[in-house]
Amino acid sequence: MDTDHPTKAQIDLKDDLRLACIVSKYEGIKFMSGKKILIFGILIAAVLVLISIAILGFGGDNVTTEGGIYTYISFVELLALIGATLFSSVTLVSEFEERTSLMLFTKPIRKSSIFLGKFAAAFILNFVFILFYYVVAVIMIAIKTGGFTDNIIPSFGLCVAYIFSLTGIAIFFSAWMKKSSSASILTFIFILLVPGIVGLVIAAIASSSGASVDLWFILDSASLSVVSTITGEATNGLRDLAVMLIWGIIPTVAGYYLFKKREV
């Protein structure tokens, strides 16, 4: 058997990935040409400036490397959530709402390529902003203390997993909702409130029966490791990583199913 030639399935997969990259590129152009990216950029810059003023300007000599980085990174979850709300939650629904689906969906491209391309664009954009935030935070603390903590690397890795989970949840609502505004609001409220409320309910039920329960499987609990890793408090980084990935994978799969079935 000649193994040098790719099979039809391999050629198809390669072409589907090529198409996903094209969709991703043009989705990126869409984000770049919109106002949301400017708003998000200004927000991130404002947070960085304010924290930097507080630490570099008024921190005195008491600022430690871990403490300073901790202060910066304690805002990263909220920023990532805002990023997911602004970009990921609108990426699919806008095709239906703005009727551009009438053009794109009638072209020879699988819906899986469209979905993957849009997911990737929204994820990468949020990733780049958060990477920038981490880099600036590290530079600022290096300027202040002259130090660097290795803990920033696992923290960033966990944060990437958190961005993945946020993107998954946001894209689920984007595939489900009829309007971008509904998808954005639901994404924000769901991530901000629902896991916490579910955790409280579970804890209350457990407490009423005299038991205590570890809420490690709740997204809020797992994402705390993004910050706690900085000070070395997180002891279950791999478990938290897995929880966040699962919180991303399940809604992504559900979102893909909804998107594939959705009609124009």
Nearer to another protein, 1 or 264 (CB): 264
Q: Which of 26, 75, 132, 190 binds another protein (CB under 8 A)?
A: 26
- Give Rg (Cα) of the chain: 21
Chain center to CA of 263: 27
Kindly state the smallest distance separating residue 77's Cβ from another protein, in Å: 30
Nearer to another protein, 8 or 62 (CB): 8
Q: Read off the tokens for 211.
A: 């038991």
Kindly state the smallest distance separating residue 8's Cβ from another protein, in Å: 11
Q: Report CA torsion sign: 57, 61, 65, 66.
A: negative
Q: Read off the tokens for 117.
A: 């391309």
Contact flags string 88-117 toward another protein, x per CB under 8 A:
----------xxxxxx-xxxxxx-------
The CA-atom distances, in angstroms, between 137 and each of 156, 159, 162, 174, 187 are 12, 14, 18, 32, 27
Q: Which stretch binds another protein (CB under 8 A): 24-32, 119-127, 178-186, 241-249?
A: 24-32
Kindly state the smallest distance separating residue 104's Cβ from another protein, in Å: 8
Kindly state the smallest distance separating residue 33's Cβ from another protein, in Å: 4
Contact flags string 204-243 toward another protein, x per CB under 8 A:
----------------------------------------
Count of residues that bind another protein according to CB under 8 A: 23
Q: Does residue 200 come out as left (phi exceeding 0), alpha (psi in the -120 to 50 range) or beta? A: alpha
Q: Read off the tokens for 25.
A: 């590129």
Nearer to another protein, 34 or 67 (CB): 34
5 binds another protein (CB under 8 A): no
Q: What gap in Å lies between CA 243 and CA 228, rounded to an integer?
A: 16
In eight-state DSSP terms, residue 5 is S
261 binds another protein (CB under 8 A): yes
The CA-atom distances, in angstroms, between 237 and each of 123, 226, 243 are 21, 9, 10
Q: What gap in Å lies between CA 66 and CA 230, rounded to an integer?
A: 6
Q: Classify 101 as helix, strand or coil.
A: helix
Kindly state the smallest distance separating residue 75's Cβ from another protein, in Å: 30
In the complex, the residues that contact another protein under the rule CB under 8 A are: 15, 19, 22, 26, 29-30, 33-34, 98-103, 105-110, 261, 263-264
